A = this chain, B = another copy of it.
């Protein structure tokens, strides 16, 4: 049975590929697995039918053969364990690749999300400039550590893995801030990852959703 994932009917990033369904789409493309997408409005995400799939009322979810999962990290791990391509066969290398998945989500992403949240909810406040300096410093410190680890390697630990996939999507959230470009090897790393055909296919698919929603809105009769 083809799995179904959920995504925003209208992504707040206007098709920039920063919503978390992109991570799962990219994974499915890397693994060569077909999938279907069910689009949800913000109102639908908070209704009982969706909360039964995702207790925090977010996207993406994953459904296949009676199994329902939430949390993009868990969905990606579930898929990567069942189809070859995103986790090494060697047991130790596999655990290390999974460590990079957790590092992306628990160590690198939180200060980046905090920075976006500050922009969303505090940019009109008198303290915003002062906090932004502090948050940028925190993000820069993490990226410096990541850059030092990466060195001149192509990927974080051996071949491209689910850890690199997640780390790339996390770094892409900083795109507009320009901080990644301060670390030449990280900028090259993101460019290398997003040049992968699987990324390109996933990006085009999520962008198409945005373009169609926009076209539908434009062709709607004036109220």
Contacts and interface: CB of A to CB of B under 8 A. Distances in A.
A75 B96 CA distance: 9
13 contacts: A55-B146, A57-B145, A67-B95, A71-B106, A72-B102, A73-B102, A73-B106, A74-B95, A74-B98, A75-B99, A78-B95, A102-B105, A121-B134
Given A66-B92, A110-B114, A114-B114, A74 B55 contact: no
A175 interface: no
Contacts of A130: 125
Given A110-B110, A110-B113, A114-B110, A71 B56 contact: no
A187 interface: no
Contact of A71 (B107, B142, B146): B107
A108 to B, nearest CB: 8
Contact of A98 (B72, B77, B103, B110): B77
Q: How many copies does the complex hold?
A: 2
A83 interface: no
Interface string A32-68: 0000000000000000000100011110000000110
Interface in A107-147: 107, 109-110, 113-114, 121-122, 125-127, 130-131, 134, 142, 145-146
A196 interface: no
A149 interface: yes
A189 interface: no
A87 interface: no
What 4 A-B pairs have minimum CB-CB distances, sorted nearest first?
Answer: A74-B99, A55-B149, A71-B102, A73-B102
A86 to B, nearest CB: 15
